Structure 1
Amino acid sequence: MKSVGSIGKITKAMKMVSASKMKGDLARLFAGRDYGANAVDMIFKSDQFLQRKLPADVNDPAVVIVPITSDKGLCGATNSTIVRSVKSYVNTQNRSKCQIFSIGDKGSVGMIRPFPDLLKTSISQVGTPYNYPTVMAMAVHISNLSQDSDKIVVVFNEFKSAISSVVRHMELMPKKRFLESMQFSKLYNQTLPDKNTSNPALYELYLTSNLWVAFLNNAASEQSARMNAMENASKNAKEIFEGLTMQ
């Protein structure tokens, strides 16, 4: 009874901590989800000439998959759903043309056994709360890994509510494809700096800002899932404690 009571107190405390962290993550999500992410995308959406000149989709694409998971567990199926989603996605692709850039310890552990040949880079112990410069540094490594790829697929949990999140696959262009496409831009036209200077900077904004949105969503989803998991654990501990008391 004493051990069950102690576990109940621990899970209740963890629930309160997760609820507090979720509020902070939600504030960062609402404040940062539009930062830069739509600025470059709007160029592609508004320029009809550019849309006509975009390279056609490759039938057998080379893909860099970027699953975003957490370093810690006790958050329900948040991390396992990402791993399962990546496994399902790889099964639909040419395995020999897939590379995985895993972010988060739980994702790396889940990927190493089924994909020892595909896991090219693994990053863990990323400090939380996440910050934009850290994500920018990771974006540079992803850009370098995807030099010969046709697309980048970021897999993360998109926050919907305190009790719901969905796995999302965000497709992004590698740097080479982005720069080739931007050469046809008509609406976005400037003389200084020239496009050879500004377009690489725009790509950094495009890749980093979209990754930033994915990180913010995943962080909020992780804390909401952990809060719910700890609430369920507390209820279970209470039921067991009451059952032992009756006996």
Structure 2
Amino acid sequence: MALKQVKNKIISTKKTGQVTKAMESVSAVKMRKSQERAFAGRPYVHAALRILARISNSNEAKNSQFAARRNTGKTLLVIVTSDKGLAGSVNSAVLKRAETVIQNSDNKVETICIGKKAVDFARRERLVVLEEYVNVSDEVTVEDVYAITELVISKFNQDEYRKVEIVYQNFLSTFEQEPTLRQILPLDPAEIHYIMQGIKPKRGKFSDNSEPSDTAITYTIEPSPEEVFNSLVPQLVQIMVYHALLESKASEHSARMVAMKNATDKSKEVIKGLTIKYNKARQTAITAEVSEITAGVEAMK
């Protein structure tokens, strides 16, 4: 490779490193904010799921349309991904998990896609998409998932679907995320307990959950158990979807920061290697020129 080509490659690699360094800094800020939001929301979600776990074991809940098991019908899968790439395997892992669910399903699977990557996946696989939600803000709130929850509840109430599941990236740490599949409807006490164990806060009043989820508690409910339960369940389902979005956002920005840091480090290694190569080639060229000059001088004697 000529000296000019090596020098141009060093310059272009430096520019790439500057871009990845800037993206790393931006992702670090977003990561801290999204992690704080995810951790701050966990005790709230945990408390809501404790309520859901308790009432799901009551007789009124077991007779509700939201808890009754169905043997026939389609599966509704909510896929949560990011809108942008350059985040390592955070999206591909979720889509791979969704693909496994679809392949192993005995019945037809229809989807609700959150994020452009999920939309592209559904179109590529030619899946039935009930609704698309893209450009979801990083500052996601419970109100932002109201439309999603309303659609899920209305479709499930039509007795068209056997179950509703959600797949998303669960945040474990800055360097570790896990693709997670959860059943939203019908309500399953064992599944709710499993979700609670995964998001139980390390500190605070809800960190010590000494009461098992299968404990049936008798409530005196007014005006009627059915009316209260049918009003409460959509709100709790909304919280479950909200929790999935928070975890997905935290995972996305964490994975992107790590990916950009690795790219920046790799660019430095490439620049170092190219610089050594450039110096060697330059030294070789200078040595050759000196040898030619010396040979010319000797020939003139």
TM-score where L is the length of structure 2 = 0.71
- Whole-angstrom CA distance in 2 between matches of 1:59 and 1:198: 26
CA deviation string 1:185-239 (max 9, x = no partner): 8723312x33343222201222101111111111111111101110111111111
Q: Paired residue for 1:199, among 207, 222, 229? A: 229
Asked whether the 8 Å contact 1:37–1:213 carries over to 2, the reply is no
- Whole-angstrom CA distance in 1 between matches of 2:68 and 2:143: 33
Task: Give the aligned partner of residue 188 of structure 1.
Answer: 219
Does 1:216 find its partner at 2:226? no
Query: Post-superposition shift, 1:19?
Result: 1.5
Query: Post-superposition shift, 1:109?
Result: 0.3
Task: Give the aligned partner of residue 11 of structure 2.
Answer: 2
Q: Which moved more, 1:28-37 or 1:220-229?
A: 28-37
Q: Paired residue for 1:236, among 242, 260, 266? A: 266
Q: How many residues align?
A: 235
Q: Paired residue for 2:98, among 77, 82, 86? A: 86
- Ranges in structure 1 where 5+ consecutive residues have no aligned partner: 178-184
Asked whether the 8 Å contact 1:79–1:106 carries over to 2, the reply is yes
Q: Superposition pairs for residues 13-162 of structure 1, below 5 Å?
A: 13-35=22-44, 36-44=48-56, 47=58, 49=59, 57-96=69-108, 98-116=109-127, 118-147=128-157, 148=159, 149-162=161-174
Q: Paired residue for 1:167, among 174, 179, 196? A: 179
| Partner-residue secondary structure (3-state), 2:87 | coil
Distance 1:34 1:150, change over 3 A: farther
Distance 1:142 1:51, change over 3 A: closer
Structure having the higher Rg: 2
- Ranges in structure 2 where 5+ consecutive residues have no aligned partner: 1-9, 189-215, 279-301
Q: Percent identity?
A: 27
| Partner-residue secondary structure (3-state), 2:22 | helix
Distance 1:32 1:82, change over 3 A: same
TM-score where L is the length of structure 1 = 0.86
RMSD: 2.5
Query: Post-superposition shift, 1:86?
Result: 0.9
Q: What amino acid maps onto 2:149 in structure 1?
A: A
